[in-house]
Amino acid sequence: MSIQRASRLTPYVFLAPAAAVMAIALLYPVCYMIYASFLDWNPSQRIGEADWIGLRNYINLLSDESFHESFWVTLKFAALVVGAEMVIGVGLALILDRKLRGMSVLRTIFILPMMIAPIVVGLVWRYMYHPTVGLFNRTLADIGVSPVPWLSDGDWAFASVVIADVWQWTPFIFILSLAALQSLPQSALEASRIDGASGWQQIWHIKLPLMMPVLVVTGLLRLIDAFKVLEVILVLTNGGPGLSTEILALRISRTASEFRELGYAAAMANYLLILLMVLTLGMYFYNKVIEARAVRLRKAAAAAAAKEEGA
Amino acid sequence: MSVGLDKRPNPAFYALLVALILMSAGPIAVMIITSLKLNVDIMSETAGLLFVPTVQNYETALCNMLWYEPAHVDYCDPTFGRALVNSLIIAIVSTAITLVIGCMAAYALVRFRFLGRDAMSMTTLLMRMVPPAVLLVPVFGIWTFQFGIDGTRSGIILVYVAMNLPFVIWILQSFIVQVPIQLEEAARMDGAGPLQTFFLVVLPVIKPGLAAAAIFTFRIAWNEFLLANALSDRSSRTVPVTIVNSLTEYDIDWGVIMATGTLLAIPPIIFTFIASRQIITGMTAGAVKG
């Protein structure tokens, strides 16, 4: 009896510490934030002293020009960055998918940019973009081209931020698609080669379709992360010039710390959270569908094999 | 095996490889080289790779931790040295805690069927996407007014552990699933309790997974800026916070700041070179498992 109870309690014993920490420091803050988004609250007040203003924060946000601007900047940034990274990353994986002696060294070098701190990435790129001492403008000056206002002009600043992110995260896509490529069924590739498919045909009709599940998940993961990017942009431009690079995460942190409107920042954070939740659930269900299809295919194959044996 | 793979790649292929290596490692090299330059060399028009390397910038940054007094430092600013100690303590302690309780939770989710299991894995999945910017407001409010742990290292450690747990649980699940159940059954036959089975049988088998999870957790705790900035005070600041603070609009001391950046980048770089295989395995597992 007591042994039975002990074994039934076992999973809860294992879960308890993690569940407790996540409840205190993750779930509770998120609920707290949802509550705070209905308040007019500044950092010098305790939360109990703040006024309840219902949905006004949310409604004000809908007509807030600069919120629109940073929402648009965020979408543009995420779409551009993920698009560019997918094309370059998958392209490189297709090109470099060969048996090379130094491949592991190569991959090690490629993952360096995403291992070092985003703050450091921002720092390095800010130095290279520097108008006078920076590497880029120096090189341009050496070949006689007039200097580029990398971080001081709105459009250039946006491009610079995108370039820095593409530098940092393309290797992620590259490594995952390389892994996917190398685990493709050799028989399909072999068969298509015997049938005389050219390199391009193989890529279009066999490799890419077979890699699709992994590519979709990788792209969604990157998309979710692209909405979270903050530090690199903070160091590079701090959202400027104007609002040209002020992505949502940065706007939330500035609303909280500079404009001291915690309720407003919380409402903004909630909009971001809803967006991310939709993407995450989309990824989750996509995975489920793919898994279900794989199971169905395996079953069909097994049934076919059984039939053949019977015949 | 196949014709295509045996063909010798042409020179353009190697040129592409070299270009890629230069592109990905170049900016990091630029940082390290700049950190070894005097400001005179950084500013000079003709500067390039021709300069006398110096460790002066590092001496300035670490002046209060050296056993000698560098001659060129007039006023020693202890901010960075202190931040380095804070960063080390915070990153190591939070990584250790996250790993221990994270792998216990992952084990429970994989090996047991119990009430609340689905709710727990769903929560883990959803919490994985919460960005630090979203946690900023509530964590600041709660830590300051309710827990009274703002400005302390333990406050920062608590939020890092919570933030990393969902990811660690997720990634370790995929490693624990692969442990043959017969191993655990054998241990139980021999009279081991569930905790013993877990710590003495399961943990040693999933060491590669633990290594990957440890590196990812350490990396986030070591690199994080936003929450550390909101929760720390003068005495508990971490390195990323001090770096951002010293980045003013004008008149940046590039040599010293690149030295601090290099010091911040060194631990992740070392991990990458030691354990790139585990990192890549972890990355793949984390992505494929969604």
Is B278 a domain residue? yes
Let me know whether B41 and B107 are in one domain.
no
Which chain B residue shows the shortest CA-CA distance from A286? B290
Let me know whether B23 and B99 are in one domain.
no
Indicate the residue type of A153: D
Q: Distance between CA B3 and CA B83 in Å, rounded? A: 56
Is B247 a domain residue? yes
Of A175, A176, A193, the CB nearest to B2: A193
Q: What is the pLDDT of residue A294?
A: 83
pLDDT band for A88, please (50, 70, 90 cuts): very high
CATH number of the domain to which B115 belongs:
1.10.3720.10
pLDDT digits (tens, 9 = 90+) for A22-51: 888 888 988 888 888 888 887 777 777 778
Is B72 a domain residue? no
Q: Distance between CA A245 and CA A164 in Å, rounded? A: 13
Of B17, B105, B226, the CB nearest to A14: B105
Is B62 a domain residue? no
Strands A39-40, A51-52: pairing kind: antiparallel
Task: Compare B114 and B289 and report the one with higher pLDDT.
Answer: B114
Q: How close A42 comes to chain B (CA, Å)?
A: 10
Is B267 a domain residue? yes
Percent of chain B with pLDDT over 90: 15
Q: What is the pLDDT of residue B218?
A: 92
Mean pLDDT across B279-290: 70
pLDDT digits (tens, 9 = 90+) for B209-265: 888 889 889 998 999 998 898 888 888 889 999 888 888 766 778 888 889 999 999
The residue of B137, B161, B247, B281 whose CB has the most chain A CBs within 10 angstroms, and thus the best one to mutate to test that interface, is B137
Q: What is the pLDDT of residue B7?
A: 55
Is B184 a domain residue? yes
Q: What is the pLDDT of residue A137?
A: 82
Q: What is the pLDDT of residue A203?
A: 85
Tokens 């989309």 label which residue?
A282
Let me know whether B50 and B166 are in one domain.
no
Indicate the residue type of A152: S
Q: Distance between CA B169 and CA B157 in Å, rounded? A: 18
Is A239 a residue whose pLDDT tops 80? no
The residue of A46, A119, A151 whose CB has the most chain B CBs within 10 angstroms, and thus the best one to mutate to test that interface, is A119
Contact B127 A27 (CB under 8 A): yes
Q: Distance between CA B100 and CA B83 in Å, rounded? A: 26
pLDDT band for B101, please (50, 70, 90 cuts): very high
Let me know whether B24 and B89 are in one domain.
no
Q: Between the ranges A3-12, A115-124, B49-58, B179-188, where is the mean pLDDT highest?
A: A115-124
Let me know whether B15 and B87 are in one domain.
no
Locate the DSSP E strands across chain B.
none
Let me know whether B160 and B264 are in one domain.
yes
The whole domain housing B242 covers: 79-288
Q: How many domains does chain B have?
A: 2
Within chain B, how many helices (H) and strands (E) appear? 15, 0
Q: Which of B226, B213, B224 is nearest to B167 (CA)?
A: B213
A52 has which bridge partners? A39
The helix or strand, by DSSP H or E, that contains position B103, with its residue range, turns out to be: helix B79-111
Q: What is the pLDDT of residue B5?
A: 46
Q: What is the pLDDT of residue B87?
A: 92
ipTM attached to this prediction: 0.85
Percent of chain A with pLDDT over 70: 97
- Residue pair A291/A239 in contact (Cβ under 8 Å)? The answer is no
- Residue pair A95/B259 in contact (Cβ under 8 Å)? The answer is no
The topology under which CATH files domain A66-310 is: MetI-like fold (1.10.3720)
Is B64 a domain residue? no
Percent of chain B with pLDDT over 70: 92
A263 has which bridge partners? none
Mean pLDDT across A293-310: 82
Contact B226 A276 (CB under 8 A): no
Is B60 a residue whose pLDDT tops 60? yes
Angle at A288 between CA A283 and CA A292, to 5 degrees: 150
Let me know whether B88 and B43 are in one domain.
no
Q: What is the pLDDT of residue B165?
A: 92
pLDDT band for B1, please (50, 70, 90 cuts): very low
Let me know whether B49 and B87 are in one domain.
no
A51 has which bridge partners? A40
pLDDT digits (tens, 9 = 90+) for B144-177: 888 888 778 888 999 999 999 988 888 888 888 8
Q: Distance between CA B276 and CA B280 in Å, rounded? A: 6
The residue ranges of every structural domain in chain A are: 66-310
Is B2 a residue whose pLDDT tops 50? no
Using CA atoms of A299, A304, A305, A308 in order, give the dihedral in degrees to the nearest 10: 160
Is B6 a residue whose pLDDT tops 50? no
B-chain residues within 8 Å CB-CB of A99? 5
B-chain residues within 8 Å CB-CB of A47? 141, 145
pLDDT band for B277, please (50, 70, 90 cuts): confident
Q: What is the pLDDT of residue A311?
A: 58
Average pLDDT score over chain A: 84
Contact B120 A193 (CB under 8 A): no
Q: What is the pLDDT of residue B47?
A: 57
Q: How close A302 comes to chain B (CA, Å)?
A: 24
A40 has which bridge partners? A51
Q: Compute the count of residue pairs across chains A and B with CB atoms less than 8 Å apart.
A: 274
The 10 Å CB-count burial string (b at 16+, else e) for B74-96 is eeeeebbbbbbebbeebbebbbe
- Residue pair B175/B206 in contact (Cβ under 8 Å)? The answer is yes
B-chain residues within 8 Å CB-CB of A36? 137-138, 141
Contact A276 B129 (CB under 8 A): yes
Q: What is the pLDDT of residue B250?
A: 67
Q: What is the pLDDT of residue A190?
A: 83
Q: What is the pLDDT of residue A292?
A: 87
Average pLDDT score over chain B: 83
Whether B67 has its CB under 8 Å from any CB of chain A: the answer is: no
Q: Which of B263, B256, B285 is nearest to B70 (CA)?
A: B256
Q: What 8-state DSSP symbol labels residue A47?
A: G
> What is the length of chain A?
311
B-chain residues within 8 Å CB-CB of A179? 280, 284
Mean pLDDT across A64-74: 88
Is B288 a residue whose pLDDT tops 60? no
Is B132 a residue whose pLDDT tops 60? yes
pLDDT digits (tens, 9 = 90+) for A264-273: 888 988 888 8
Q: What is the pLDDT of residue B290?
A: 40
Mean pLDDT across A225-248: 85
Q: What is the pLDDT of residue B285?
A: 72
pLDDT band for B8, please (50, 70, 90 cuts): low
The gap from C-alpha A95 to its chain's centroid, in whole angstroms, comes to 24
